[in-house]
Each structure stands twice: as structure tokens, then as C-alpha cells.
Amino acid sequence: MINSFFNVPKPKNEPVLNYKKNSPERKSVLNEYDKLFNTKIDIPLYIGDDKIFSKKRKKIFPPHNHKHELGSYSIAEKLDVKNAIKSCLKSKEKWENLSFENRSSIFLKAADLISGKYRFKINAATMLGQSKNIYQAEIDAACEFADFLRFNVLFASQIYSNQPIQSNGVINRLEYRALEGFIYSITPFNFTAIAGNLCAAPALMGNVVVWKPSDYQIYSANVIMEIFEEAGLPSGVINMISGDPNEISEIVLSHKMFSGLHFTGSTEIFKILWKKISNNLTKYLNYPRIVGETGGKDFILAHKTAKIDELVTSIIRGGFEFQGQKCSAASRIYLPKSISKKVIEKLKDKLSELSIGSPNDMNNFITSVIHEKSFDKIVDYIENARKDKNANIIYGGTYDKSIGYFIKPTLILTENPNYITMREEIFGPVVSIFEYEDEDFNKTLDLVNNTSKYGLTGAICSQNRNIIKHATEILKNAAGNFYINDKPSGAVVGQQPFGGSRASGTNDKAGSYLNLLRWVSPRLIKETLNPPSNYKYPCMD
Ligand code: NAD
């Protein structure tokens, strides 16, 4: 027992390395990429002390080179899922009773491993498995992941130190218990950092976790488990299982001790999961916490006073970074007619400079989309637009899946503000543009607000302060992350807590104390120093 109140380190955002030509970091990450590319890996299930290499396996291929096998991963049987839950529950007591400074040291060490010893490995794994170019891999796998772990320690300490007031003869203590049961984390393909954070955040708060990563992030998920293990995370605290998501979820979500879902992925899957949880409600010991961050149809609304070069940059970076596969990617753009011609010309000009190809060629801004199903879905949107009289493909529209799932950045101009690509999440390098009459700015604000079911991110570009103020007010519920003169993507932990409402999720703001609060169940302890010994009120004497 140590008798001290400890302070936690003050976190800083991990600096982003630039990977310039001849830089040591560029050499290191390319070496690591080549090494991983030329090694076949077998990824196990991580259940308690065991690494289980199942008989049933699936192969892993880089999306940009889908004939090259990187190895395989294990497919969980029903018994493995049950064992993962057992293993959680077995580790629970020891883990939740480990003091906060010990739990936090493990995750702080993991952050140092991510930004140090494992930096190039986790980046290279993200480049290979998820086809991120080095800049996108660095800001995600190395920096954002380390930031999540470091900032969460600070946020957790702030939560724990938040205590009720005292009164004469009464001591009030608030204890932030871990949830009574286990957490189920289901994670998407598109961010290594999100995958790691969705299991690490509840674990930091003393919870035990069954983690089901995406099949299309499994390659870097394995590096995450390697790092957690090296950081000293006791086995059984986070159990990683992969396989049929439906089958796994059926078992996990019908367990009495299921106490929380930490999900990021598409809106459709989140709704399915929520319904399953509702159907099983009578089976649970507690009402489970449900946290889900889902899709977006993120906008950039330009006013006639917008600066054209800044606007064009926001559209290119916001719309096409990581091939538009960010929940926050700008995918519907509203341009006033007085500047739209110029903006579109510049956009086409800049887009023509973007090179497309494998992420190990560091000149490539665009690489491939994640898998064939996604490729086909995006191509359908493009081909439908080509046939539709409401839409006009003004840039791109070509694609090729012979080597990797490559789609050229595509611009669709539409005269119908409710055209399908202005409403639905495409999750690919396709940006739709609607032009409006300058004097219809207020009508356009209503359009932006009401066109799509989502409410994740959006941006206003203008140099007029009154317009900025007005748009910020009218679009209050259109975006959980609202940007002024910027792209609507690229949230940084500790700076821009991230999440949206409407169909975009429960808006529990990953990378903030708000998210961590969902993983604790406070217990109030009142101690009375001089308890009354007579039931009568003073007025009764
Ligand atoms: P997805 O919904 O296809 O998959 C997400 C996870 O759910 C994966 O692990 C998948 O295996 C699992 N899953 C699939 N079917 C399931 C089922 N029936 N039961 C249980 N689990 C199931 O999403 P994705 O393609 O991996 O990721 C892209 C989506 O994630 C986009 O919609 C994007 O907007 C969203 N996203 C949102 C945020 C955010 O913070 N709002 C961040 C990243 C991604």
C-alpha cells in the first residue's frame, strides 16, 4: 500500500514526423514495410494466457496488391468466444483492484512503445494492411494512438479527482467503479488508433474487454496486441478474437455479464447491435452502456467570401485523404455560383497532380480503397451518376482493380441537392458538388442542415464574421464537430474531441473525459461522523 496521491504526466500531442526524402524515419519505415511485405504472418486469437492458432483461417492481402499474401488470421469457433468471455471475467477482480497508477503506467508505456520502438512497425503494418500512405499512417497509428493513451490517463485522473462537497460531520466520497461485467469493443478498418483506443479506454478505467477488430485491420491489430503485451498488460484484460461478427456478437451479447458496447463502424451495423442488445435486455445483470460512433455525410459550405485556395485545399484534403475513407471526409460541397467556376477549375487542376499507387511510393497521395466489396459499391455510385441526367462526372470516374482497388478521385456536379451522392455515405474518393445562387445562402443553410440523416462533421468557409456566426447557429445540430475555414476532418486528441449525433452516433466524444465516463459506474459513499441518536426533528421538541 502506497500512501500518496500521485500526479499524472502532462500529455503533449505526439509530433508528426515528416518522412522527407533521405530522412532517417523514411528509411526506417520503408525497411520495415519491405520486411513485413516479405514475411508471412499467422495471427492468433488472444484469449487469456493463450494464443490460439485456429484451424479455420483467412488470408490477408494488401488492398493495393491483392494477389500478394501477407499471411493469415484465426477464425474463432463458438467455444473460443465463450472462453474469451471467461478469460475476461477471470481477470476482472485483479485488474480492477490494481491501483490507477499501475494501470495507467501500462498504457503510458504502451504509448511510448508506439511512438518509439514500434513506430515504424505499426506504421508499416497500417500502410500494408489498410493501404494508408505514410502521412496518413503516421498521424493515425503512431501519433493519434499514442495521444489517446496519454491523454486518457490525464482525463481519467480528472474524473477520479472529481468529488462531491462535504458538510459538517459528513464525509462524501465518489468511487468510480469499473462496470460490473465485461465490455465488448467492435472496431472499424479505417483507423488503427480507434481500434486500439476502443479497447484501451475501458480497460484503463478498470474494465475487461472482448475485442473484435475488423477483418480489414487485423494486420495492425496484431501489432497492437504485441505492444499491449510488451507494455505489461496482464493477459485476459483485453482478449482479441476475430471471425464471423454475427456469430461472435450473438454469443457475446447474450451473456448475462455483458455490460457495455464500445463500437465504431457503420450506422447500419450499430443499429443491428442496438436492437440485439434491446432484445436481450432481460438477460443482463445491468443496463449495458452503448457507445457507438458511426457514419457521416460531411459537408463544406462555402460562402461567396471564401478564400479560393484555402477552400480548394480543404476540399482536396478533406475529401480525398485516405481515399475519402474517413467518417469525417468532406463528401458534399456547396459552392456559390459567383466563385464555383474558379473553384472547380482549381480543384481539377490540383487533382490532376495527385499520383495514385502503392503506399510504399511516398509520392502517392491516393492509394487503394480497402476491399473489393467497397470498390464495387463506390463504382456503382460512379456508374449510376454517369447514367443519371441529374449528375455530371466532371473529374475522375475511372477505376481499376486488376492489381489493387484503385479509384481515381472523382467529382460529381449535380443540380439536384438531394441527389443520392449528396445524401448517402459512399466512403470512397467521390465528392459531390451542388452550386447555389449567391442570394440563396440562407436557403442553402437549410439544405445543408436537412439533406442527410447524419450529423458528424461539417465546415463553413467565409471571411465574413456575421455569416460565420449565422451558419454556426443554424447548423448547430448538423455536425458534432464543426469547423470554420478548415477541412471537416483531422480531429486531434485533446484538441478536438470527436463525435456526432443524429445517425452518426451517441456522440460520446472519443479522446475526451466524456467517453471515459461511460466506462465507470460511480458509487457514492457517505460516512456520518456523529450520527443522530434521536429520530425527532428539532421542531418537535
Ligand atoms: P463496418 O460497419 O462494416 O464494420 C465495423 C465493425 O463491425 C467491424 O469490426 C465489423 O467486422 C463489425 N461487424 C460487421 N457486421 C457485424 C455484425 N453483424 N455484428 C457485429 N459486428 C459486425 O464498418 P467499416 O467498414 O469497418 O468502417 C467504416 C465505417 O465506420 C463508416 O461508416 C465510417 O463512417 C465509420 N466510422 C466512424 C467513425 C466515427 O468516429 N464516427 C470513425 C471511423 C469509422
Q: Are residues 267 and 344 in the same domain?
A: no
pLDDT at 148: 98
CA distances from 283 to 212, 246, 263, 401, 407 (A): 22, 19, 21, 46, 46
Q: How far apart are CA 222 and CA 220, in angstroms?
A: 5
CB 336 within 8 A of CB 303: yes
| pLDDT band of 476, cuts 50, 70, 90 | very high
Overall average pLDDT of the 146-173 stretch: 97
pLDDT at 94: 98
pLDDT in tens, 334-386: 999 999 999 999 999 999 999 999 999 999 999 999 999 999 999 999 999 99
475476461: which residue's cell? 88
pLDDT at 410: 98
Q: How far apart are CA 404 and CA 390, in angstroms?
A: 31
User: Within a domain: residue 495?
Assistant: no
User: Within a domain: residue 51?
Assistant: yes
User: Within a domain: residue 15?
Assistant: no
Q: Are residues 331 and 473 in the same domain?
A: yes
Q: Which of 327, 425, 435, 461 is catalytic?
A: 327
User: Within a domain: residue 325?
Assistant: yes
What's the gap in Å between 394 CA and the centre of ligand 1? Answer: 30
Query: What amino acid is encoded at 470 in this protein?
Result: H
User: Is the minimum distance from the CB of 190 to ligand 1 under 6 angstroms?
Assistant: yes
Tell me the three cell numbers of residue 154.
490525464
Q: Are residues 306 and 281 in the same domain?
A: no
Overall average pLDDT of the 208-219 stretch: 98
Q: Has residue 40 got a pLDDT over 80?
A: yes
User: Is the minimum distance from the CB of 506 to ligand 1 under 6 angstroms?
Assistant: no
User: Within a domain: residue 147?
Assistant: yes
What's the gap in Å between 295 CA and the centre of ligand 1? Answer: 9
pLDDT at 459: 98
Q: How far apart are CA 476 and CA 387, in angstroms?
A: 36
Short-list 260, 219, 273, CA closest to 242: 219
Q: Are residues 114 and 245 in the same domain?
A: yes
What's the gap in Å between 272 CA and the centre of ligand 1? Answer: 12
pLDDT at 66: 98
Tell me the three cell numbers of residue 86.
471467461
Q: Are residues 339 and 289 in the same domain?
A: no
Overall average pLDDT of the 133-143 stretch: 98
User: Within a domain: residue 3?
Assistant: no
Q: Has residue 268 got a pLDDT over 90?
A: yes
CB 492 within 8 A of CB 13: yes
For the domain that residue 210 is a member of, what is the CATH number? 3.40.605.10
Query: 3-class SS at 215?
Result: coil
Short-list 183, 155, 238, CA closest to 516: 155
CB 507 within 8 A of CB 500: yes
Q: How far apart are CA 164 and CA 174, in angstroms?
A: 7
User: Within a domain: residue 432?
Assistant: yes
| pLDDT band of 142, cuts 50, 70, 90 | very high
DSSP assignment letter at 253: T
Q: Are residues 241 and 365 in the same domain?
A: no
Q: How far apart are CA 347 and CA 407, in angstroms?
A: 17
Looking at ligand 1, which atom is closest to the CA of residue 327?
Answer: 34
327 annotated active-site: yes
User: CA Rg, the chain, in Å?
Assistant: 25
Q: Has residue 229 got a pLDDT over 90?
A: yes
Share above pLDDT 70 across residues of the chain, in percent, rounded to a whole number: 100
Q: How far apart are CA 475 and CA 489, in angstroms?
A: 17
Tell me the three cell numbers of residue 466.
456575421
Task: Ligand 1 pocket test: pick from 214, 275, 325, 424 the residue with the most ligand atoms within 8 Å of its Cβ.
Answer: 214
pLDDT at 541: 78
Overall average pLDDT of the 151-169 stretch: 97
Query: 3-class SS at 393?
Result: strand
For the domain that residue 353 is a member of, what is the CATH number? 3.40.309.10
Q: Are residues 390 and 471 in the same domain?
A: yes
Q: How far apart are CA 291 and CA 126, in angstroms?
A: 25
Q: Has residue 1 got a pLDDT over 80?
A: no
pLDDT in tens, 502-516: 999 999 999 999 999
User: Pseudo-torsion of CA 131, 137, 142, 143, nearest 10°?
Assistant: -140
Sheet strands side by side (includes 45-47): 50-52, 45-47, 238-240, 209-212, 182-186, 258-264, 289-293
Q: Are residues 391 and 476 in the same domain?
A: yes
Tell whether pTM > 0.75. Answer: yes
Short-list 449, 494, 440, CA closest to 471: 449
pLDDT at 167: 95
Tell me the three cell numbers of residue 222.
496484431
293 annotated active-site: yes
**Residues in contact with 444: Cβ distance below 8 Å, sequence separation at least 6, in sequence order:** 301, 334, 436
Total domains present in the chain: 2
Short-list 477, 515, 510, 474, CA closest to 491: 510
Phi first, then psi, for residue 319 (nearest 5°) are: -90, -30
Q: Has residue 332 got a pLDDT over 90?
A: yes
Mean pLDDT (the chain) is: 98
Overall average pLDDT of the 32-38 stretch: 98
User: Within a domain: residue 5?
Assistant: no
Q: Are residues 462 and 518 in the same domain?
A: no
Q: Are residues 289 and 353 in the same domain?
A: no
Q: Are residues 133 and 182 in the same domain?
A: yes
Short-list 111, 272, 270, CA closest to 197: 111
Q: Which domain holds residue 385?
A: 298-484
pLDDT at 331: 98
What's the gap in Å between 269 CA and the centre of ligand 1? Answer: 7
Phi first, then psi, for residue 499 (nearest 5°) are: 160, 160
Q: Are residues 437 and 519 in the same domain?
A: no
**Residues in contact with 377: Cβ distance below 8 Å, sequence separation at least 6, in sequence order:** 426, 427, 428
Query: What amino acid is encoded at 240 in this protein?
Result: M
Q: How far apart are CA 503 and CA 521, in angstroms?
A: 26
